[in-house]
Amino acid sequence: MKKSLERSLFISAVAAGLLIASIDSSFAVSPLKLEFVTHAAFFSAETKQPKTLDPQVFVEDAAAPEATGPQGIKHVARVRPPFIDQDPKTSKLFNADHKPLGFDLQSWLSATGTVTIVEKDGKVTLEATFKNLPPNASYSLFENHFDTKPVTFTPIDGAGKANSFTAKADGTASVTVNLPSMPTHDNAVLVIYNSGGQPHGMERGQIGVDAHHQIIARPE
């Protein structure tokens, strides 16, 4: 009787251990699914801007002086960052040097996408899909590191070799990239539009001039 009871308790303990291990394992491989939001909305909320604006692109304003914008981007006179809820969505966009980007504010803000990140067998893989991007446009995926001061950025693949892609003629894109590690709330997946037509390797480019943060996804 005693041996039977001990055996039952042992089997129960083993079963409980296997269940816990199974649960832990399922948590480890649970995919991270995120929706991209506009960088304009993200930046304005994070920095508590009085009005939602986009610091990475510019609209024409004859009264605007040469200045440095809220994200430290210098721009020439006669352009300024757009106010999302005030400026017409048909406003043509420019870079910080007053060079046309070739689309309007509505087109810029319409970009959307989803990203799924899975960790399996020690390998972390990102799969993302996008739509409403500028046709045939050059893009790069970078990772924000919010746990550094100031915030730093590295290519999402860690090497700057597999983190760039080109949108299709219909403005869609699908990307699969291997990551160095699983992102946390200290990180974010950042989508950078390369208005100069090409990526910049390990660097983001000249922000506001030939590279512009468009959409972003940050884990909770």
Model confidence pLDDT, tens digit, residues 71-81: 999 999 999 99
Domain boundaries, the chain: 30-47+112-217, 59-106
Beta bridge partners of 164: 140
What fold does the segment set 30-47+112-217 form as a domain? Answer: Immunoglobulin-like (2.60.40)
**In the block, residue with structure tokens 């969505």:** 89
| Amino acid symbol at 22 | S
pLDDT of the residue at 29: 57
pLDDT of the residue at 14: 39
How far apart CA 111 and CA 123 sit, in angstroms, is 29
Q: How far is CA 1 from CA 5, 6, 9, 89, in A?
A: 6, 9, 12, 80
Question: Given a cut of 80, is residue 12 above it in pLDDT?
Answer: no
Residue pair 76/152 in contact by the 8 Å Cβ criterion: no
For 183-198, the pLDDT digits (tens) are 999 999 999 999 999 9
Q: Cα(first)–Cα(last) distance of the chain, in Å?
A: 52
Q: What average pLDDT score do residues 91-118 get? A: 98
pLDDT of the residue at 30: 82
pLDDT of the residue at 40: 98
For 123-169, the pLDDT digits (tens) are 999 999 999 999 999 999 999 999 999 999 999 999 999 999 999 99
pLDDT-wise least confident of 16-25, 98-107, 158-167, 172-181: 16-25
* Listed residue (219, 156, 150) closest to 184, CA to CA: 219
| Mean predicted lDDT score pLDDT of the chain | 91
pLDDT band at 23 (very low <50, low <70, confident <90, very high): very low
Q: What average pLDDT score do residues 92-101 get? A: 98
How far apart CA 194 and CA 164 sit, in angstroms, is 10
